[in-house]
Structure 1
């Protein structure tokens, strides 16, 4: 009968590493100083912090992209030189019509554009707290049940996985024949 040692005892001199405590994985053993997590609370905390950071960064990037697109679309179009007098007058009239619409309703739209990043950051925070807590507690329970020590890289990787799942779930995937 084979006996496996699945219980990793917490070292007596163990101190919870400070956040983020990511260490360089490649190098000589005397240079690489690995950091490990043993307690569920520490695993949950690291996963929660990394998830908040990664979610906020992803949502902020998307919000800034949305602001740039709306701001760029809210500008008045420049008039182009037409061929001939009749074509130039018609083009000028169209530009003026578009300019009236853009300056009337569009100016108000541009004034409140700062709300978009704020809303995205708040939504990202709520999503990150929920996802980070669930994933962190599951990781902590699994690692403690197995008696394993956890590298500080694992919460970081799982936060990236969480944001990738969020991005993937935003697409409408339709299949069928």
Structure 2
């Protein structure tokens, strides 16, 4: 019988090596070649990919929940003005909690996919590269908005 360890060992043929002088780019690192001439930014490590996805998701989903909470607070302020003040903050806190959970799942799945394919994650737009963490945060925000329509139609 063959050696099981040799089957499970992955060949190191196309692995992306981290540059020696690699420094994790500052957030948000939205590099656009037409405006920025400093160079492109890449994310090589899973923790960095997760962190960028987390921060963008918290910004997007937190903003969505704050705006919705603000509208609900304005509508609710006619009946109970003292309670209405807290609605935007409660909605934002719930959105941030939901963003934390969803971005953790999405961020580590993205990191696993990129590392399994031996790619580095780009934080710039050029030809076929995208602002990957930002785009996936927007996708999560759209899922939140689309998920609210079922609840809205049930309430009305």
Q: TM-score, normalized by length of structure 1?
A: 0.69
Q: Secondary structure at the match of 1:172?
A: helix
| Partners of 1:115 and 1:143 in 2: CA distance | 41
| Partners of 1:112 and 1:67 in 2: CA distance | 8
- The structure whose RCO (Cα within 8 Å, separation 6+) is larger is 1
Tell me the equivalent position of 2:40.
Answer: 34
Structure 1: gaps of 5 or more residues = 75-105
**Deviation per residue, 1:4-50 (Å, 9 max, x gap):** x64221111111111111112436xx825211000001001110111
Quote how far apart the aligned CAs of 1:167 are. 1.0
Matched, 1:146 2:100: no
Tell me the equivalent position of 1:64.
Answer: 70
Q: Secondary structure at the match of 1:171?
A: helix
Structure 2: gaps of 5 or more residues = 1-12, 124-130
Kindly tell me the number of residue pairs found equivalent between the two proteins: 133
CA root-mean-square deviation: 2.0
Asked if structure 2 preserves the Cα contact closer than 8 Å seen for 1:10 and 1:38, the reply is yes
Tell me the equivalent position of 2:93.
Answer: 122
Asked if structure 1 preserves the Cα contact closer than 8 Å seen for 2:74 and 2:84, the reply is no
Quote how far apart the aligned CAs of 1:68 are. 2.1
Of Structure 1 and Structure 2, the greater strand share is in 2
- After superposition, residues 1-177 of structure 1 pair within 5 angstroms as 6-26=14-34, 31=37, 33-71=39-77, 74=78, 106=79, 109-152=80-123, 153-172=131-150
Quote how far apart the aligned CAs of 1:69 are. 2.3
* Bigger Cα Rg: 1
